[in-house]
Chains A and B, each alone.
Chain A
Amino acid sequence: MSEVSASRKNRELAQKALEKKPALGEDIDLSAYSSTAEEHRYQSDPARLPSKEKDNMLKVGVSLDDRSQRAGTFVQIDRSVVHTSASQDGVEVMSVTKALETYSWLEDYWWRAVSVDTDKFTARAELDLDNGYFIRSLPGAKVVYPVQACLYIAHKNLAQKVHNIIIAEEDSELHIITGCATRPMHASGLHIGISEFYIKRGAKLTFTMIHNWAPEVAVRPRSGAIIEENGVFLSNYVSMKPVRSLQMYPVARCAGEKAIVRFNSVLVAPPGSNLDTGSRVLLDAKGARAEIVARTITTGGAITARGHIAGSAPDVKGHLECRGLILSDKGVIHAIPELKGNLAGVDLSHEAAVGKIAEEEVEYLMARGLTRNEATAMIVRGFLRVDIEGLPPELAAELEHAIELSEKDLF
């Protein structure tokens, strides 16, 4: 399907980058994965999808039986888009290939926030695209309920390659919940997800992504966001289930004055999981602000938690916070916070703490009658509690629910 999307230049760049190793994380042999999968039939009513798949999707916040609390829905299984719909004025939801056919101007957004030749993953997504979603809120539209999108791998050993474009037009407000999951399986799979976010002047976008992969799946998201004047971008990310290898480092660029970015992530690495994730914000315009908060837990896996804020304009402010809990002797958390300021007027700070649960905290709760296990669970629950300013209650509830579901597996 890539022929509809690629300009010649992008193709050329991608060709050259096909063997380009990723800057971070383990290299992956793409030839080990399959590029084909059986077609899945389009469903005008997504409730007709098999209930087993629907259950898996529900766990990542995608509700197909009851869509009354959603402004739109997108579902892709393997390479096939099986449902798209929008139920509120001012919001558009479609497959990205259809959007490229519909809007010629979309070419201007294609690979603008993420470079096509970043590495072999972006290159492959350009040359052999499966599909992806296009979600847009029209100027001034306030989309009350979240739009939900699900990217699902059902085919064993598939390399799923998607390219998503999200646009919040001027003064609009849009909430998106994206759930990624696999059919529970023991075989391997690879997900390559390009996401480009454009937050126009005065617009607000909240993006909540819940990942629920399988122990043998590798995941390589490549995301970028450009935020214009007075725009707000809130990104929340949750991954608490085993995943063999995940590496991502989304970059948000505050291009307009007083743009605001906030990244929140909650990561759990069970044994056998290797997570290398972070968020980067470039404060390129006067008065822009950024906050990056990461909470990480290892129960035996490895986590590299990166964070980078660069301030290059007057009156910018950024804060980075990384807290890590080690709940097993075998786990590793490596926090790498970075700050870069090249102007006198920037105000950047960070705090990072990694360690086990303080015995004093456990004893405090035990003195109230809780057993050691109950006390530990309560402290971990508190640690994972996400109080995200500006998150609509429906999304906050979904997030809390996703965390609660996974919490049970921690002990």
Chain B
Amino acid sequence: MLQIQGLRVETGGKEILHGVDLFIGAGETHALFGPNGSGKTTLLMAIMGFPRYKITGGRIIFRGQDITRASLDERARLGIGMSFQRPPVLRGVRTKDMVSACLGGREDGEVVARMSERLNMGDLLEREINYGFSGGEIKRSELLQLLAQGPDLSLLDEPESGVDLVNIALIGEMINELLEKDLKRNRKRSGLIITHTGHILDYVNAGKGYVLLNGRITCERDAHECLDSIKKRGYEGCVECLK
């Protein structure tokens, strides 16, 4: 699904990623760990194609196609989607307008209506997008948009942050739906999840885990083992892992 080779990325004139390699197969979900400032969000933004994150070296291959030079919206239409940590407020644009934009003309209104009901979206659909939203409301709205968009690869930036313990199960359920986790076979959808606490992994099953440290991947192993190791030995302990 996604193959990254020697990716170097700079933003604000400073190189943040110094050659990252990554491979996510179809139907797989991987987790990305790392301390603040290690470059996790930069990696997601670069995969998504935000112009502020300039790719200075390496390649991104998505479903066999080199998308290193593809624009943000081209990548979205090819099947990459992202949930935002701090999305902007769009005055006058309602959440439901965003959802229909994500559907891109596909007649999936019923599915979305059913989903939003299950997600306790309530009046959120009628409200101006992200205007006065709580942390939890942002997460739910972001995931609802992604569900409508239906990308083959979902990039999720800390989906559990700011969500209380009751709602985290709900968020987990949405992500499982998004990544077709109910399918045991022929699952196509893949995901890359940034998580600080690892809480989301109690609800969403992830295969591989990576630790990103100072712009380099320093550990690559089973996601749960990776998390246990970080808990025991800290991020620095992971440096030993790849040696």
Contact = CB atoms under 8 A, between A and B. Distances in A.
A363 B91 contact: no
Interface stretch (A5-13, A211-219, A377-385): A377-385
Nearest to B145: A368
Residue among B92, B104, B149 having the largest count of chain A Cβ atoms under 10 Å: B92
A328 to B, nearest CB: 20
Contacts, number: 66
Contacts of B92: 381-385
Interface string B75-104: 011000110100110111100011001101
16 contacts: A365-B90, A367-B73, A368-B76, A368-B145, A369-B73, A369-B77, A370-B76, A370-B101, A372-B73, A375-B73, A378-B93, A378-B97, A382-B128, A383-B92, A384-B92, A385-B92
A27 interface: no
Interface in A283-335: 323
Contact of B72 (A323, A366, A383, A385): A366
Given A360-B88, A367-B72, A367-B82, A382 B93 contact: yes
The range of chain B's interface size is 20 to 34
Interface string B113-139: 000000000000000100000000000
A370 B73 contact: yes
Contacts of B73: 366-367, 369-372, 375
Interface string A210-247: 00000000000000000000000000000000000000
A364 B84 contact: yes
Contacts of A365: 90, 101
Contacts of B194: none
B48 A367 contact: yes
Given A363-B72, A369-B76, 13 more contacts: A361-B90, A364-B87, A364-B88, A366-B71, A366-B73, A367-B48, A367-B73, A368-B81, A378-B90, A379-B90, A381-B92, A382-B91, A382-B92
A379 B77 contact: no
Interface residues of A, number: 23
A385 B90 CA distance: 12
Contacts of B97: 378, 382
A369 B149 contact: yes
B23 interface: no
B159 to A, nearest CB: 16
A372 B128 CA distance: 21
A358 interface: yes
Interface string B217-238: 0000000000000000000000
Contact of B98 (A358, A363, A368, A383): A368
Contacts of A361: 88, 90
A372 B97 CA distance: 17
B50 A378 contact: no
B91 A383 contact: yes
Nearest to A357: B90
Contact of A367 (B76, B90, B91, B93): B76
